[in-house]
Amino acid sequence: MSIASAFNNATSGLAASARAVQVVSSNIANALTEGYAARRLDLGSATLGGGVRVLGTTRLTDPVLQGLTRDAAASASAGAARNIFWQRVEGALGLPGQGLSQALSAFDSALISASDRPDLESRLATVADRATALAAQLGGAQETVQTLRLQADAAIAQDVETLNAGLGRIDDLNERIVRMQASGQSSLGLEDERAALISSLSDIVPMRELARSDGRITLFTTGGTLLLDIAPAEIGFNRTPAMDASLTNGAGLSGLTIGGRAIDTGAAGPVAGGRLAANFQIRDHDGVQVQAQIDGFARDLIARFSDPATDPSLSAGVPGLFTDAGGSPTAAPGLAGRIAVNAAILPDQGGALWRLRDGIGATTPGPVGDPSQLGRLSAALDRPVAAGPGAPALSAGQSLGELLTTVSRARQGAEETATSTQARHAELTQQSLAQGVDTDAEMQRLLLVEQAYSANARVIETADALLKRLMEI
């Protein structure tokens, strides 16, 4: 080996050591930076003249673990959204002894108390007040459900806006990365930014990425719908300004489009698994379902007190104590919000309290001491009634119990799902962090770099001494 070759080899070693120090220092400095992937310096032997050459710097990532973590984050976000929905619905209906249950119990107690002293107008007034409070409780439950549906619709609009902006940003990063790699510059910082952005968007819609040889990536949903290739797909959604029980997907409410094509937003659709699909589930399924159940209880109440067996003064088809906005119930959704006490018993609406004692259809007051009609009203709550063909015959309390139990089961299921998905996400996040920068290993690597740098410097010092010796001869 010539002295010149020794100089060249040692010089390349010094350059590689200096580059290694740069990589190690960057790793240590970003040990706590979220989204930063540790770097590794790749070295190889020079093909001509010996020495070492820097092949490049590699981002150390685990694509499988990264994909699992993103999917877990999407599931945790979806689980949290549905858990909040069912908690709010259960709170609006109330636990046993609270809310609807308490209002129904107070109404029943008022009827029993009035039947003991039918001559006391104050007790008849209490019956009217308790009936009004029960109807208001149902209306409040419906208002909560529709408010939650409206909030889900607004959250969908916000997530769609975030997705469109994020995909546009990733497309811009793709272009910059391609240009930088083509010009021989490092694009690792941009790749970190792109990976972090994809992770944040994956909370909304779980994604899969496909790396291209030029540095660009292509994005798909887990269901296979293309989100980004040469250009980002445009995701379409129209937010609704107001919500009522009659609005459904395709009938007053906007669906979702990707690239101008309508997309199934259900549990088996291409965007399933994240917060976007969870909010569609809340708006179009969970909210509609629980609204139908609340309407069913309201319809049961109206039917019980419109039955001629309960009030012989009523003609067929004439509403009794409870009405659908003053008339007979219709099949239109939202009955819980329209249920009202019959104006015939409300003095402030031109009615008379004595009709509670003598019948809604009575034209003149009867004996003030006759409790029979009030007894029939009280018995109506306890009478087993089937909601439909093949349905079990239940009392009003049992019917309400079925509603509360159904909502409670849904809330418990959503809570268990939220807890398990959050735990899985936390575990995978910990595993991802464990694969991040190991400062102990980086410091050990720095010691090795220092030794290599000293050795190469010693080679140069020795070669310089040899040259000086030759010049002295």
83 and 51 co-located in one domain: no
Confidence of residue 47 (pLDDT cuts 50, 70, 90): low
Confidence of residue 49 (pLDDT cuts 50, 70, 90): low
Per-residue burial over 252-285, b = 16 or more CB atoms within 10 Å of its CB, e = otherwise: ebbebbbeeeebbbeeebbbbbbbbbbbbbbbbe
| Close Cβ partners of 268 (under 8 Å, ≥ 6 residues apart) | none
Q: Which two tokens stand for residue 225?
A: 């719908």
Whether 439 has a pLDDT exceeding 90, the answer reads no
Confidence of residue 471 (pLDDT cuts 50, 70, 90): confident
Q: Where are the beta strands (DSSP E) in 154-212?
A: 207-211
| Residues 305-318 pLDDT 10s | 999 999 999 988 88
Q: Which CB contacts under 8 angstroms, 24+ apart, belong to 359-363? A: 359/311, 359/312, 359/313, 359/314, 360/311, 360/313, 360/314, 360/318, 360/320, 360/321, 361/311, 361/313, 361/314, 361/315, 361/318, 362/313
Is 432 domain-assigned? no
23 and 71 co-located in one domain: no
Amino acid at 195: A
109 and 140 co-located in one domain: yes
Confidence of residue 48 (pLDDT cuts 50, 70, 90): low
48 and 186 co-located in one domain: no
Backbone dihedral angles phi then psi of residue 52, each to the nearest 5 degrees: -125, 150
302 and 420 co-located in one domain: yes
Give the span between the Cα atoms of 448 and 45, in whole angstroms: 18
Length of the chain: 473
368 and 452 co-located in one domain: no
Q: Which two tokens stand for residue 36?
A: 């930063």
199 and 243 co-located in one domain: yes
Q: Which two tokens stand for residue 291?
A: 């609204």
Q: If you average pLDDT over residues 57-85, what whole number do you get?
A: 91
Confidence of residue 62 (pLDDT cuts 50, 70, 90): confident
Is 326 domain-assigned? yes
174 and 54 co-located in one domain: no
The verdict on pTM exceeding 0.85 is: yes
| Residues 225-276 pLDDT 10s | 999 998 999 999 999 999 999 999 989 999 999 999 999 998 889 999 999 9
Is 408 domain-assigned? yes
Contact 323, 340 (CB under 8 A): yes
Q: Give the distance, in angstroms, between the CA of residue 133 and the centroid of all CA atoms in the same chain.
A: 33
* Cβ neighbours of 87 (radius 10 Å): 14
Is 103 domain-assigned? yes
Amino acid at 262: A
Query: Mean pLDDT across the chain, nearest whole number?
Result: 91
Q: If you average pLDDT over residues 333-362, what whole number do you get?
A: 95
Percent of the chain with pLDDT over 90: 66
Whether 1 has a pLDDT exceeding 90, the answer reads no
| Residues 171-229 pLDDT 10s | 999 999 999 988 888 888 898 899 999 999 999 999 999 999 888 999 999 988 999 99
310 and 348 co-located in one domain: yes
Give the span between the Cα atoms of 280 and 15, in whole angstroms: 57
Q: How many domains are there within the chain? A: 2
Is 433 domain-assigned? no
350 and 443 co-located in one domain: no
Is 390 domain-assigned? yes
136 and 80 co-located in one domain: yes
- Among 62-66, 107-111, 230-234, 413-417, where is mean pLDDT lowest? 62-66
Q: If you average pLDDT over residues 148-161, what whole number do you get?
A: 97
pLDDT of residue 264: 93
Q: If you average pLDDT over residues 82-101, what whole number do you get?
A: 94
Q: If you average pLDDT over residues 34-62, what whole number do you get?
A: 80
Q: Which two tokens stand for residue 438?
A: 């190991």
Q: If you average pLDDT over residues 464-473, what whole number do you get?
A: 80
Measuring CA to CA, which residue among 27, 80, 19 is closest to residue 44?
19
296 and 392 co-located in one domain: yes
Q: If you average pLDDT over residues 389-397, what whole number do you get?
A: 88
* Cβ neighbours of 111 (radius 10 Å): 24
Is 31 domain-assigned? yes
Is 187 domain-assigned? yes
| Domain containing residue 228 | 67-427
Backbone dihedral angles phi then psi of residue 220, each to the nearest 5 degrees: -130, 155
Whether 71 has a pLDDT exceeding 80, the answer reads yes
